[in-house]
Amino acid sequence: MQDLNWSKLPFGYVKTYYNVRSVYKDGKWGEIEVTDNECVNIHMAATVLHYGQACFEGMKAYRGKDGKIRLFRWKENAKRMRHSCEGIYMAQVDDDLFYKMVSKVVEINKDFVPPYGSGATLYIRPFLFGSGPKVGVQPADEYTFMIFVTPVGPYFKEGFKPIKIAVVRDSDRAAPLGTGTFKVGGNYAASLRGVIKAHDAGYGAPMYLDCREKKYIDEIGAANFFAIKNNTYITPESSSILPSITNKSLEELAEFLGYKVERRPVEFTELPGFEEVGACGTAAIISPIGEINDLDTGKIYKYCPDGKPGPVSVKLYETLVGMQFGDVEDPFGWVTVFDF
């Protein structure tokens, strides 16, 4: 194994020892294969290559002070992957196979779970795609489910420091009755125009507004949006955003910590009234937002005047991350501790 500078890792790909795979054929999933092959050999007419039959999940394994490796709410990822598969007519994986493959791939790559205190984690990427051939537009008969892992650092280079966001109105990542609630590859292809536009303007990620009226806030790149006002955790209700497991956990945690919680359409015009705003997700964890630039009007909304995350974001971050690493008691039963 190569020497890794754990505390300097970016959010990117590092080769590990093995990945795991299973193929769905004739109506059932086959044996789990463990391989060090980083490539996939599929039919050139596979539906994933032409018609975008593909979905993925993003999870992390956390190493605690006790050296033990933990997972956070894996059943929610398994459930969301089935929701994605259902949404684009792919074969589904039950909890049992999902957990078997996740635990296997973490165990055989456990050297790559970063040490406690390094700030890094092992990112787990389950993905499933149509590997069988079709030329007409229809679902494949064969599917491949794979998981690779890679040690990662923060998604935004700022880490837990305020990030800058640009509002994008001239492209949408998903339509109101489209695939926004599914974690399918096509949404990320569609998001690239906004992502590149934001990056080119010097911003970390785009803010997407609702596509019908551009009146409500949808989400932030590959993360959900939240705001804090009057001791209330506010997050958008929308039919075109990904149901984030981190966001759902923060809603439950906020309530547990005594804050009010509102899941409702959030108007863009509410931005000046918010005390704190942030992006949340597995990769993004909680990324406080320090600046939102409306590229079309030139108006800039600023938060974190002292350059530091606000107190509610800090409290939520410390509690959530504390539970994930095993430092804070988990009263919800969200954390699974591996025994290897």
**Strands annotated E in the chain:** 19-25, 28-29, 33-35, 54-56, 59-63, 69-72, 121-130, 143-152, 163-168, 205-209, 217-220, 223-229, 232-236, 260-264, 276-281, 285-294, 299-302, 335-337
CB of 124 to ligand COI, least distance (A): 9
Residue 105, SS3? helix
Nearest to 34 by CA among 130, 93, 92, 107: 107
90 contact choice in ligand COI, ligand PLP, none (CB below 5 to 8 Å, kind-dependent) = none
Among 174, 283, 286, 312, binds ligand COI (CB under 6 A): 283
Query: 142 or 218, CB closer to ligand COI?
Result: 218
**Of the residues 114, 204, 236, 281, which one makes contact with ligand COI according to CB under 6 A:** 281
Residue 58 interacts with ligand PLP (CB under 6 A): yes or no? yes
Q: Do the bridges between strand 163-168 and strand 285-294 make them parallel or antiparallel, or are there none, so unpaired?
A: parallel
Residues that are catalytic: 183
Residue nearest to ligand COI (CB): 58
Strand partners, 144: 23, 129
State the binding string over 214-233 for ligand COI (x if CB under 6 A, else -): --------x-----------
Choose which of 53, 55, 58, 317 interacts with ligand COI (CB under 6 A). 58
By C-beta, is 134 or 247 nearer to ligand COI? 247
CB atoms closer than 10 angstroms to residue 213: 9
Strand-pairing partners, residue 299, are 294
- Reading phi first (left if > 0) and then psi (alpha if -120 to 50, else beta), residue 20 is in beta
Among 186, 281, 288, 309, binds ligand PLP (CB under 6 A): 281
Site string for ligand PLP, 18-57 (x = CB under 6 A): ----------------------------------------
- 309 lies in the binding site for ligand COI (CB under 6 A): no
Size of the site for ligand COI (CB under 6 A): 5
Closest CA to 15 of 26, 2, 5: 2
Q: Which stretch binds ligand COI (CB under 6 A): 32-40, 44-52, 275-283, 313-321?
A: 275-283
Segment near ligand PLP (CB under 6 A); pick from 33-41, 111-119, 244-252, 327-335: 244-252
Q: Contact at 8 Å (CB) between 73 and 79? A: no
Query: Whole-angstrom Cα distance, residue 338 to residue 106?
Result: 9
Kindly tell me which residue out of 92, 179, 282, 319 binds ligand COI, with binding defined by CB under 6 A: 282
Q: Is 195 in the site for ligand COI (CB under 6 A)?
A: no
Alpha carbon distance 107, 103 (integer Å): 6
Dig out the tokens for 168 from the structure: 């994008």
Distance of CA 285 to the CA centre of its chain: 9
How far apart CA 303 and CA 315 sit, in angstroms, is 17
* 250 near ligand PLP, judged by CB under 6 A: no
Considering CB distances under 5 to 8 angstroms, the limit depending on partner class, which of ligand COI, ligand PLP, none binds residue 219?
ligand PLP
Give the binding range for ligand PLP (CB under 6 A) out of 114-122, 148-156, 221-229, 297-305.
221-229
Least Å distance between CB 177 and ligand COI?
22
Q: Which chain residues interact with ligand COI by CB under 6 A?
A: 58, 222, 281-283
Q: Which chain residues interact with ligand PLP by CB under 6 A?
A: 58, 219, 222-224, 242, 244-247, 281-282
